[in-house]
Amino acid sequence: MHKQNQINNLLKSQQKLFLSSQGAEVIVGNIIEPQQLAIPIVPSPTTMFGPRGACLLSATGPLWVSDTGHHRLLGWRHLPTQDNQPADWVIGQPDFYHEGQNAKGTPGSTTVSVPTGICACGAGLAVADAWNHRVLIWRNLPTNNNVPADLVLGQGNFTDNEPNRGTQQASANTMHWPYGIFYHQGQLFVTDTGNRRVLIWQQLPIENGQPADLVLGQPDMISRNENGGGSPTAASMRWCHDITVWEDNLVIADAGNNRVMIWQGMPIENNAPCAAVLGQKSFDCVEMNQGVYSPNASSLSMPYGVGVAGDWLVVADTANSRLLGWRKPESILSLQGMMADALVGQINFQSKGENRNYGLPTRESLNWCYGVKIWGETAVIADSGNNRILLWRLN
């Protein structure tokens, strides 16, 4: 009981340092009224279906969202200031009212199929186009509908879309279900999820299909077995999904192993092991919520998203429908199995029901949140199960 009181007191004292206790300031996507039982998912400028990624390009916009289930990207010229504000641009469909993989046609430089991760990339934009097994890069930010991408990675051209280019093995220039993407100080990182690895380009690629320079999670560029074909280790991955950098330390969400991997600094060798994991007590443990039904302040269940807010690391603990926050300690090594400092989306660290208690969405609730990215004072949360994006102020 004493330990539980400590945890509850920690939650009360720390939560306001993480996100505003008032809930999301602005919601784009579906706004659920109390009497409304069905969630509309018909595509329009204001609706979304299972968005899994979003990014804010500056404090005032633009905002770009991967509207994953509608197979399109939605763009707002400026940061939305009102609930349900319609998008200004669409990429991937002929207009705001159509959906379907590759616009129900063949792949091209303006189509997507299950887009997920999305990020600023130099002066432009990059998207993990998961079911086309490729990454699309715009050298400059799109400012109109259906602006064609300039570059494709994972495929040799814009029309092919077979996993690993139709072969059984992976290679340095192929992908299988890339779900996450991140750009940092000239380096491009892609979670090549179906190949159970992370690919790293040391400089922003300039050619279609350009091979990656480094690989994490596998002993070489051709292997693709989960956990490297063996038991989990500090170097292996099962279902890597998102990437960020936390004060010059690489962070990867390994959802399949129910953990977040943290390297001390930036890896410079293939298959480099991480220094610590969050969500598990050791490198060889991988069970959901550390093998028990209810979560706690140090456990994770399928964490899909990671983001950074100052000295905070924010983790989208997806299957527990919550966000957890850790403040950076003096040593990365001390993070191993550390309890979170803050919680958003649940009333306490032991709760995990969607929308807190399997109810209707509120401004403070989450339902299978897949992504979280922060720019300045705004957290952009892909609240996938509620078919919406939350713009939530930091305190």
Cα 264 to Cα 276: distance, rounded to the nearest angstrom = 8
Give this prediction's pTM.
Answer: 0.94
| Predicted confidence (pLDDT) at residue 12 exceeds the cutoff of 60 | no
DSSP of 314-341: EEEEGGGTEEEEEE--S-GGGGTTPPPS
* CATH numbers and ranges of domains, the chain: 2-393 (2.120.10.30)
Average pLDDT rounded to a whole number, residues 68-93: 97
Each residue's pLDDT tens digit, 112-156: 999 999 999 999 999 999 999 999 999 999 999 999 999 999 999
Backbone angles phi, psi at 59, to 5 degrees: -60, -25
The pLDDT score that the predictor gives to residue 357 is: 84
DSSP of 217-262: SSSSSS---GGGGSS--SS--SSEEEEEEETTEEEEEEGGGTEEEE
Report whether 132 contacts 71 (CB < 8 A).
no
**The pairing of beta strand 187-192 with beta strand 369-375:** unpaired
Using a pLDDT cut of 70, give the percent of the chain over it: 93
Cα 320 to Cα 300: distance, rounded to the nearest angstrom = 7
Peptide bond into 62 cis (omega under 30): yes
Cα 325 to Cα 372: distance, rounded to the nearest angstrom = 11
Cα 233 to Cα 337: distance, rounded to the nearest angstrom = 15
The pLDDT score that the predictor gives to residue 30 is: 76
Across 45-121, the runs of DSSP E, i.e. the strands, are 53-56, 63-67, 72-76, 89-91, 115-121
